């Protein structure tokens, strides 16, 4: 990593300033030497509100190149749609090798059943999260290659196969996916140590 | 050229060899072979070239245990806790878990985008990030699934197998709050989404209060660049929180007002509870300890003096006490904590012990400065239900047979 010489000089003077500020604050408060043992963050002591000016401001176009997540209120859901038939077709080609013909999971491939237990589709809190994960991370050996239509179709297929949705010809798009209330949503306990209550985290 | 048949070097030959080796450092590696003319002390003893980056002696066999599932993209490795000393884990022995392979990233190309509920969204190169003020802090990192195989019955034979998904390093990077302050947080900001640059673009929601407390964007581990499997060139460090939240190969942070309920927080690392309930957002890796020596897989060499030694750690604070029982929990003695004793950090404890040669069970129990005490399995079942898998903090028993053989046994 190379640092341009003039940049380095500027950096050194920033450090010197920070050092000066730390020195002052210690003199003023009579801080105990034990503070150093407690792994205090010197940056905070130096200048809690300091702006350094490093990094490059970016607009919506650059952000769009990086950002592809779906929020639980549906923000980020793309245009397009897919039905159960499309989902089943994609599943058989792309997914069944690990997840099994009937979502039962292929142990040797490391996939568990999606009908019960920890990978039970019915137990997921939000359909948005399912869409996000499938599009983001699957298939394992070629993630990020499913189209939006294929992802909508796969989510429709998975929700029908596991009995969350009844219509065998279900078609999903942004609006219809957003309208789904997952049946296990109120079975989630929020660990109080997280600093949040279940009410605070209610998404819809 | 020195005489290769002579084992006894003259002063003149030593000087020649010295010149040759200096030259080798400066020019070519072919000349480095000249240094092998200096014999080791005693007949047959070799000398070796330790290269530009030191590696363990070939006689030192301490290694991680590796495991992989499926097509090799989901897997990890366990730290050999029973063969290590002190509190720091060597970077090459630090445990790791990956869900979509370990990517090979060029730091010159790597960027971090921070956006969402901020005044000024910014993208940072590694060079940008390394110009911000730095902190170096010792912290343990533990997988939420450390010991998940032990829930119902003892299975692992060694401390590596039972507890090897915890490790401890000195991490260096920029405090996350410095970066967030740089961008300016909007009033409704409460959560962050951290996204990795592995194949699966793994994501976790991080509460903003943690980001503004002690979270670090880390790029160095024990003084050197992060190892690839630790997230090179950039990882999030949320001290004391479950390993999965310390997102590796960090490429993006989005500030939001709600958690995202990502796959890894609603399924993979959520905790099943009785009656189909599921506990979510259980961030903390709680107070825990294990005796690493003597421990499972070892054999005591007859009655006599042994030092009992192990590790204690807590994601909620600083270890204040470790008690050791050498009579199956009948009585407890306080072990000595070896400095430094730091918050959210492995703490080494030691206690002298004389084994009388009779069958017994030894165990340790830790307490932290929040008053949390490590539970027994029975106590943990009451809290979590026996169907749990993650966040196993229960007391570990090591059974010592009359033969001195040590096994993982709760009976």
- Is residue B274 located within the same domain as residue B314? no
Tell me, yes or no, whether B53 lies in a domain. Answer: no
Burial class (CB in 10 A: 0-12, 13-18, 19+), A152: buried
A42, B133: Cβ pair inside 8 Å?
A: yes
Over range B168-197, report the average pLDDT. Answer: 97
In chain B, what percentage of residues exceed pLDDT 70?
A: 90
Tell me, yes or no, whether B132 lies in a domain. Answer: yes
Tell me, yes or no, whether B13 lies in a domain. Answer: no
A51, B124: Cβ pair inside 8 Å?
A: no
Of the partner residues B182, B268, B284, the one whose CB lies closest to the CB of residue A52: B182
CATH of the domain at B113: 3.90.420.10
- Is residue B235 located within the same domain as residue B340? no
Residues of A with Cβ-Cβ distance to B120 under 8 angstroms: 57
- Is residue B227 located within the same domain as residue B349? no
Rounded Cα distance between B241 and A96, Å, is 35
Q: Is B179 helix (H, G, I), strand (E, B) or coil?
A: helix
Tell me, yes or no, whether B59 lies in a domain. Answer: no
- Is residue B199 located within the same domain as residue B340? no
**Shortest Cα distance from B245 to chain A (angstroms)?**
13
Residues of A with Cβ-Cβ distance to B244 under 8 angstroms: none
Over range B211-221, report the average pLDDT. Answer: 98
Q: Which are the contacts of A41, defined by CB distance < 8 A and separation ≥ 6?
A: B135, B175, B214
Structural domains of chain B, count: 2
Tell me, yes or no, whether B235 lies in a domain. Answer: yes
Please name the residue of chain B whose CA is at the shortest distance from the CA of residue A186.
B277
Q: What is the dihedral of CA A49, A50, A55, A60, to 10 degrees?
A: 30
- pLDDT, one tens digit per residue, over B29-74 is 444 444 555 566 777 778 888 999 999 999 999 999 998 876 778 8
B123 to each of A202, B111, B112, how far by Cα in Å?
31, 7, 6
pLDDT at position A27, please?
34
Q: Is A8 helix (H, G, I), strand (E, B) or coil?
A: helix
Angle value at C-alpha B309, between B332 and B83, nearest 5 degrees: 150
- pLDDT, one tens digit per residue, over B220-266 is 999 999 999 999 999 999 999 999 999 999 999 999 999 999 999 99
CA gyration radius, chain A: 25
CATH of the domain at B298: 2.60.40.650
A144, B342: Cβ pair inside 8 Å?
A: no
B278 to each of B55, B187, B269, B385, how far by Cα in Å?
45, 31, 10, 11
Residues of B with Cβ-Cβ distance to A6 under 8 angstroms: none
Residue B249: which of B352, B349, B77, B99 has the closest Cα?
Answer: B99
**Shortest Cα distance from B375 to chain A (angstroms)?**
18
Token pair belonging to A97 = 């090798």
A187, B135: Cβ pair inside 8 Å?
A: no
Name the least confident of A182-196, B110-124, B204-218, B352-366. A182-196
- Is residue B271 located within the same domain as residue B155? yes
Q: ipTM of the assembly?
A: 0.86
Q: Which are the contacts of B54, defined by CB distance < 8 A and separation ≥ 6?
A: none
Phi, psi of B135 (to 5 degrees): -130, 150
Q: Is B48 helix (H, G, I), strand (E, B) or coil?
A: coil
Residue where one domain finishes, among candidates B233, B256, B279: B279
Rounded Cα distance between B211 and A39, Å, is 16
How many C-alpha atoms does B121 have within 13 Å on its Cβ side?
A: 19
Tell me, yes or no, whether B55 lies in a domain. Answer: no
B251, A39: Cβ pair inside 8 Å?
A: no
- Is residue B295 located within the same domain as residue B191? no
B113, A62: Cβ pair inside 8 Å?
A: yes
Q: Which residue would you say has higher pLDDT here, A88 or B14?
A: A88
Residue where one domain finishes, among candidates B240, B261, B279: B279
Q: Which residue would you say has higher pLDDT here, A202 or B216?
A: B216
Name the least confident of B7-16, B156-165, B171-180, B304-313. B7-16
Name the least confident of B38-47, B123-132, B231-240, B280-289. B38-47
pLDDT at position A202, please?
75
Residues of A with Cβ-Cβ distance to B122 under 8 angstroms: 55-58
A140, B73: Cβ pair inside 8 Å?
A: yes
Of the partner residues A52, A128, A194, the one whose CB lies closest to the CB of residue B283: A194
Residues of A with Cβ-Cβ distance to B174 under 8 angstroms: 43
- Is residue B162 located within the same domain as residue B207? yes
Supply the DSSP string of B271-340, one letter for each residue: EE-STT-EEE---B--SEEEEEES-TT-B--SSEEEEEEEEEE-TTS-EEEEEEESSTTSS-EEPEEESP
- Is residue B354 located within the same domain as residue B395? yes
Residue B140: which of B312, B291, B370, B320 has the closest Cα?
Answer: B312
Q: What share of chain A is helix, strand, coil (3-state, %, to 5)?
A: 50, 5, 45
Tell me, yes or no, whether B48 lies in a domain. Answer: no
Of the partner residues B123, B259, B284, the one whose CB lies closest to the CB of residue A62: B123
Averaged pLDDT of chain B: 90
Phi, psi of B174 (to 5 degrees): -100, 135
B353 to each of B305, B327, B350, how far by Cα in Å?
6, 12, 10
Residue where one domain finishes, among candidates B259, B279, B299: B279
Residue B332's domain comprises 288-408
Residue B234: which of B337, B357, B125 has the closest Cα?
Answer: B125
Over range B192-202, report the average pLDDT. Answer: 96
- Is residue B201 located within the same domain as residue B340? no
DSSP class of B204: E
B40 to each of B37, B181, B379, how far by Cα in Å?
9, 58, 58
- Is residue B267 located within the same domain as residue B305? no
Q: Which residue has the tokens 């952000």?
A: A63
The parts of chain A modelled with pLDDT lower than 50 are 1-37, 43, 45
- Is residue B114 located within the same domain as residue B179? yes
pLDDT at position B1, please?
34
pLDDT at position A42, please?
52
- Confirm if A98 and A140 have CB atoms less than 8 A apart: yes
- Is residue B107 located within the same domain as residue B208? yes
Q: Which residue would you say has higher pLDDT here, B126 or A198?
A: B126
Residues of B with Cβ-Cβ distance to A128 under 8 angstroms: 261
pLDDT at position A48, please?
67
Let me know how long chain A is: 204
């Amino acid at each position: 990593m190379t640092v341009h010489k003039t940049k380095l000089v500027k950096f050194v003077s920033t450090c010197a300033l920070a050092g000066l500020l730390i020195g002052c604050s210690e003199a003023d408060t009579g801080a105990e030497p034990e503070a150093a043992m407690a792994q205090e963050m010197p940056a905070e002591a130096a200048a809690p509100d300091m702006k350094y000016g490093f990094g490059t401001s970016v607009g919506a176009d650059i952000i769009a190149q990086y950002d592809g997540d779906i929020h639980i209120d549906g923000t980020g859901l793309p245009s397009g749609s897919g039905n159960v038939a499309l989902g089943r077709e994609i599943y058989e080609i792309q997914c069944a090798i690990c997840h099994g013909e009937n979502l039962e999971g292929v142990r040797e491939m490391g996939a568990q059943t999606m009908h019960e237990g920890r990978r039970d589709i019915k137990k997921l809190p939000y359909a948005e999260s399912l869409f996000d994960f499938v599009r983001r991370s699957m298939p394992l050996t070629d993630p990020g290659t499913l189209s939006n239509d294929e992802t909508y179709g796969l989510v429709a297929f998975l929700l029908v196969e596991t009995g969350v949705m009844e219509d065998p010809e279900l078609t999903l798009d942004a609006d219809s996916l957003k309208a789904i209330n997952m049946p296990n949503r109120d079975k989630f306990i929020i660990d109080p140590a997280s600093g949040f209550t279940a009410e605070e985290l209610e998404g819809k | 050229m020195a005489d290769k048949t002579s084992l006894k070097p003259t002063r003149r030959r030593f000087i020649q060899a010295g010149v040759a080796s200096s030259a080798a450092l400066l020019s070519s590696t072919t000349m480095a072979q000249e240094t092998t003319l200096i014999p080791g002390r005693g007949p047959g003893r070799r000398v070796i070239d330790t290269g530009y980056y030191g590696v363990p002696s070939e006689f030192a066999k301490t290694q991680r245990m590796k495991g992989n599932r499926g097509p090799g993209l989901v897997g990890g490795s366990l730290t050999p806790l029973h063969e290590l000393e002190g509190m720091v884990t060597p970077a090459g022995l630090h445990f790791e878990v990956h869900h979509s392979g370990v990517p090979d990233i060029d730091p010159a190309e790597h960027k971090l985008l921070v956006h969402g509920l901020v005044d000024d969204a910014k993208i940072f190169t590694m060079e940008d990030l390394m110009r911000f003020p730095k902190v170096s802090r010792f912290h343990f990192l533990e997988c939420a699934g450390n010991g998940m195989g032990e829930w119902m019955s003892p299975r692992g034979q060694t401390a590596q197998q039972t507890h090897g998904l915890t490790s401890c390093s000195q991490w260096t990077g920029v405090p996350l709050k410095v970066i967030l302050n740089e961008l300016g947080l909007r009033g409704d900001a409460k959560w962050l989404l951290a996204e990795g640059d592995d194949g699966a673009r793994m994501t976790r929601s991080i509460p903003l209060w943690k980001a503004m407390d002690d979270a670090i964007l880390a790029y160095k581990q024990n003084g050197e660049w992060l190892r690839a499997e630790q997230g090179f060139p950039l990882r999030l460090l949320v001290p004391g929180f479950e390993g999965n939240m310390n997102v590796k190969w960090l490429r993006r942070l989005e500030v939001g007002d709600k958690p995202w309920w990502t796959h890894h927080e609603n399924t993979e690392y959520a905790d099943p509870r009785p009656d189909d309930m599921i506990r979510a957002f259980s961030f903390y890796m709680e107070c825990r300890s294990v005796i690493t020596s003597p421990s499972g897989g070892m054999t005591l060499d007859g009655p006599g003096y042994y030092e009992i030694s192990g590790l204690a750690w807590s994601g909620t604070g600083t270890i204040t006490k470790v008690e050791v029982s050498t009579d199956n929990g009948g009585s407890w003695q306080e072990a000595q904590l070896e400095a430094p004793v730091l918050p959210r950090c492995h703490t080494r404890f030691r206690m002298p012990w004389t084994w009388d040669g009779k069958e017994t069970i030894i165990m340790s129990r830790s307490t932290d400065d929040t008053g949390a005490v490590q539970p027994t399995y029975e106590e943990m079942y009451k809290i979590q239900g026996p169907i749990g898998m993650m966040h196993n903090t229960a007391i570990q028993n090591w059974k010592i047979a009359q033969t001195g053989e040590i096994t993982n046994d709760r009976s």
